Amino acid sequence: YLVPVSLSALQHIKAFYNATWSQRYGHGLASGPLTLLYSLTVSIFALGGLVGSLLVGVLVERYGRNGTLSRSALLILLAGAFMGFSRELGSPEMVIIGRSITGLHSGRCRRAVHRSFLMPCIFICLGVFFAQLLGLPELLGKDKFWPLFLSVVVVPASLQLLLLHCFPESPRYLLIERNDVCRATEALHRFLGTPNVQDVIKEMKEEQRSLSSVEMVSVWQLLRDRSVCWQTLSVVVVNAGMQLSGIDAIWFYTNTIFENAGIPVSQIPYTTVVTGAIEVVAGLIGCFTIEKLGRRPLIITGFCAMGICLAGITVSLLLQTALPWMRYVSVACVVGIIAGFCMGPAGVPFLMTAELFMQSHRPAAYIVGGSLNWLCNFTVGFIFPFLQMSAGAFCYLVFCGVCLLVALYVYRIIPETKNKTFMEINHIFA
């Protein structure tokens, strides 16, 4: 669900923007406006994601999850066409529009599918890894291929569109929200592969009765509810901290970081692929250890590791002129940041949001956390190039401070939620 701007394609896109501007107006773009367009291309994905996540509730209620995902996949085909033909038509605007539509699709998919630790952690890592792999010069990393590279998003979207028809609608959606027992039973037969699903149907009906007696809280009511104020603040801190940790700056601008660290340009694509593979391994470690270690150790360790490595990048960039071997410290710190993120902060905030609230407050909490997540994603993607230009190596200390403060907050305020009921968690907060 996450297909970032190709790290190897970014320089080609900047060259395309500059050449197009020169053809239109007779002069190239200055450094500031070019950086602005470049930043907008990277960050507009998150604004699309925010809009998509806010619309998905209405769409799921009207079309169901499969219907929402199918319509969303059709949007990606449109986005792929915009980005794929942008160079032929000499239109940077088509790249930006295509990126925003891709974000819209991602926002819808992220909210429409079941939330878990596995989904945001493993599949974000896989998405980034495959983008890095395809961005190698031997594949689609050359200048002439960047429009094709960006339009590769149509491949998984087309597969999604084709395969969704092979699967029934969500049994919980059919029974709880549509009250369609027959179709829910048929869906369970196919999913579980057993004719006896009456126990599951009975559990769903009990859940339906319990939900019908619960009055759902709005976002405004959640923010005003003093009984869950610490839980709400915790959702704000961990979700905002997840993006303000600087992980998006690392993902979107890895090539620039490695180039500033003195890595030869020809070796940078291969270095980023190695970091992508480490991301996947770290995500798997976090996924398979979360139930054993708990939520707090993973998220605290992850943020602390990220903070230390961000400080390490700053030191290594400042000293690499005097000590050439410091460039390797920079690479190691980038790997440490990504590994720390994937082991905890990538997925724990989603799981924690569900566990801190009862059912009546949970949808509003997800809206608050998800909206902050997308907004902070946009903010970092947009301002990081300007922050890097103005502060140089010291720009990473901003993210270092955020990571360490979030780790301290979780350590002091948020209890372990593993195997605890909402009432137990609420009592600890109180």
Q: How far is CA 134 from CA 139, 188, 224, 284, in A?
A: 6, 38, 47, 22
The predicted model gives 250-263 an average pLDDT of: 70
Sign of CA pseudo-dihedral 259, 263, 269, 274: negative
pLDDT for residue 306? 92
The 10 Å Cβ neighbour count of residue 403 is: 28
Q: How far apart are CA 229 and CA 86, in angstroms?
A: 47
Q: Measured over all CA atoms, what is the biggest interatomic distance in the chain, rounded to whole angstroms?
A: 73
More confident residue, 253 or 7: 253
- Give me the chain's average pLDDT, please: 81
Res 2 pLDDT > 50? no
pLDDT digits over 162-213, tens only? 887 777 777 777 777 777 888 888 888 887 777 788 888 888 787 777 766 6
Q: How far apart are CA 266 and CA 372, in angstroms?
A: 37
φ/ψ region of 249 (left if φ > 0, alpha if ψ in -120 to 50, else beta) reads alpha
pLDDT for residue 112? 58
Domain boundary assignment for the chain? 1-167, 169-213, 217-429
Res 7 pLDDT > 60? no
Q: How far is CA 143 from CA 17, 79, 137, 263, 275, in A?
A: 13, 20, 9, 20, 23
pLDDT digits over 125-151, tens only? 787 788 878 878 888 878 888 888 888
pLDDT band at 115 (very low <50, low <70, confident <90, very high): low
In DSSP notation, 123-186 reads HHHHHHHHHHHHTSTTTT-SGGGHHHHHGGGHHHHHHHHHHGGGSPPPHHIIIIIT--HHHHHH
**Domain 1-167 matches domain 217-429 at the CATH topology level:** yes
CATH class of the domain defined by 1-167: mainly alpha
pLDDT band at 3 (very low <50, low <70, confident <90, very high): very low
Instruction: Give the three-class secondary structure for 324.
Output: coil
The 10 Å Cβ neighbour count of residue 8 is: 26
pLDDT digits over 28-47, tens only? 888 888 888 888 888 888 88
pTM: 0.79
Query: Which of 310, 16, 312 shows the shortest CA–CA distance to 150?
Result: 16
pLDDT band at 120 (very low <50, low <70, confident <90, very high): low
Query: Which of 347, 412, 303, 354 shows the shortest CA–CA distance to 125?
Result: 347
Counting Cβ atoms within 10 Å, is residue 355 exposed (0-12), middle (13-18) or buried (19+)? middle
The predicted model gives 342-348 an average pLDDT of: 81
CATH number given to 217-429: 1.20.1250.20
pLDDT band at 110 (very low <50, low <70, confident <90, very high): low
